[in-house]
């Protein structure tokens, strides 16, 4: 549905986007991540035909964004970081206005507007002035305008920025509901949002793609070992010695100062091994108290920081 091949954009001799390539399949939600200045917004503006690229190619729904930009625009919905709203208009009049601009047939226009208002849960404020709405409602009105032409592709730049937790949950749920019927590129700084919403992730830094996989796949690529957190009521040196002797344990580290009470440990094991049962059996057989035992997963935030720092 979206094909980006060696896309490059140069500003004043500096490559804001440096030869990036990726694809997005039909019905997929792709998370587009990167620190400020990484080239995310520039890439989105190229894909939406807002600005030309210096080099490379990009196709949306089979159409070249440079040679067939009008066809591309008919097939995309775009929500920039700051929604393109007219604060003096009511929600209903604004959406009718945008529907007309996007070429919605006059006989069906009211039904189309009513449908997207229902989908984006803004029907209860249809007669309210946009400028007097909350940030959450403004964001949903912005998403509604992006959906008016029932686009094959949705490009959303920071769609939940500035929202409170309840509003984030509502917008996130709406985006997830769009998957399958629409192909979505979602740019965000909220990393847990990507794990909860996106099928795949592209991470860019300094204009280059540094990683591309599912959130789980990225975690598995970067972690060097399985980790298990323990809390044990027993003599620290003896605990470390006994647990280190279990086959598959590569290292064990005690956390905090020894105070005569329970101690916390991080046990590293070989990849693709689960030693929780063996660890528990060894601790109990020694008569020590096992207060906690849990696997430690690598978060998407850990992956992001690791990749960006490497770059």
Q: Quick one: pLDDT at residue 48?
A: 92
Which one is predicted more confidently, 215 or 279?
279
- Using one digit for the tens of pLDDT, what is the confidence trace for 214-264? 877 776 665 556 789 999 999 999 999 999 999 999 999 998 777 777 899
DSSP one-letter string for 149-212: T--SEEEEESTTTT--HHHHHHHHHHHHHHBTTBEEEEE-S-HHHHHHH-SEEEEEETTEEEEE
Beta 263-269 vs 226-233: how paired, if at all? Answer: antiparallel
> Which CATH fold would you assign to the domain 224-297?
Alpha-Beta Plaits (3.30.70)
The rounded Cα 259 to chain-centroid distance in angstroms is 42
The Cα–Cα gap between 23 and 1 comes to: 8
Query: Which residue, among 225, 144, 220, has the nearest Cα to 178 in the 3D structure?
Result: 144
| From 80-84, 190-194, 200-204, the region with the lowest mean pLDDT | 190-194
- The yes-or-no verdict on residue 306 having pLDDT over 80 is no
∠ at Cα 146 (138, 88), nearest 5°? 40
* Residue 298: pLDDT band with limits 50, 70, 90: low
Q: Quick one: pLDDT at residue 158?
A: 84
Q: Quick one: pLDDT at residue 300?
A: 66
Domain ranges of the chain: 2-220, 224-297
* Residue 82: pLDDT band with limits 50, 70, 90: confident
Residue 7 and residue 53 in contact, taking contact as beta carbons nearer than 8 Å: yes
- Using one digit for the tens of pLDDT, what is the confidence trace for 145-198? 999 999 999 999 888 877 788 878 888 888 888 878 889 998 876 777 777 888
Going edge to edge, which strands form the sheet with 226-233? 249-255, 263-269, 226-233, 289-296
Which one is predicted more confidently, 251 or 271?
251
The Cα–Cα gap between 4 and 43 comes to: 10
Task: State the Cα torsion 147-150-151-155 to the nearest 10°.
Answer: 20
At residue 45, the 3 state secondary structure works out as: helix
User: Which residue has 């990009």 as its token pair?
Assistant: 58
Q: Quick one: pLDDT at residue 68?
A: 94
The Cα–Cα gap between 279 and 294 comes to: 11
- The yes-or-no verdict on residue 295 having pLDDT over 70 is yes
- Using one digit for the tens of pLDDT, what is the confidence trace for 103-140? 999 999 999 999 999 988 899 999 999 999 988 889 88
Average pLDDT, the chain: 88
- The CATH code of domain 2-220 reads 3.40.50.300
| From 33-37, 172-176, 186-190, 203-207, the region with the lowest mean pLDDT | 186-190
The rounded Cα 258 to chain-centroid distance in angstroms is 41
* Token digits of residue 17: 């986007």
- The yes-or-no verdict on residue 308 having pLDDT over 80 is no
């Amino acid at each position: 549905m979206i094909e980006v091949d060696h896309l490059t954009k140069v500003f004043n001799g500096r490559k804001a986007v440096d030869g990036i390539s990726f694809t997005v399949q039909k019905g997929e939600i792709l998370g587009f991540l990167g620190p400020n200045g990484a080239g995310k917004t520039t890439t989105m503006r190229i894909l939406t035909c807002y600005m030309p690229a210096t080099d490379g190619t990009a196709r949306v729904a089979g159409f070249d964004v440079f040679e067939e930009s009008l066809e591309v625009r008919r097939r995309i919905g775009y929500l920039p970081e700051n929604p393109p709203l007219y604060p003096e208009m009511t929600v209903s009049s604004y959406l009718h206005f945008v529907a007309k601009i996007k070429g919605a047939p006059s006989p069906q226009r009211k039904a189309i507007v009513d449908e997207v208002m229902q989908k984006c849960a803004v029907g209860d404020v249809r007669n309210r002035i946009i400028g007097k709405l909350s940030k959450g409602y403004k964001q949903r009105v912005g998403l509604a305008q992006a959906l008016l032409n029932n686009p094959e592709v949705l490009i959303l730049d920071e769609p939940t920025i500035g929202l409170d937790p309840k509003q984030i949950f509502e917008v996130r749920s709406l985006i997830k509901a769009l998957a399958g019927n629409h192909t979505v590129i979602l740019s965000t700084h909220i990393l847990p949002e990507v794990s909860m919403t996106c099928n795949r992730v592209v991470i860019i830094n300094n204009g280059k793609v540094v990683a591309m996989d599912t959130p789980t796949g990225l975690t598995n690529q970067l972690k060097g070992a399985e980790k298990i957190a323990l809390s044990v009521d027993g003599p620290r040196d003896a605990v470390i010695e006994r647990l280190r002797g279990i086959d598959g344990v590569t290292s064990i580290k005690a956390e905090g100062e020894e105070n005569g009470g329970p101690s916390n440990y991080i046990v590293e094991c070989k990849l693709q091994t689960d030693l929780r049962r063996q660890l528990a059996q060894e601790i109990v057989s020694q008569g020590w108290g096992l207060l906690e035992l849990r696997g430690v997963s690598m978060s998407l935030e850990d992956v992001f920081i690791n990749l960006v720092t490497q770059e």
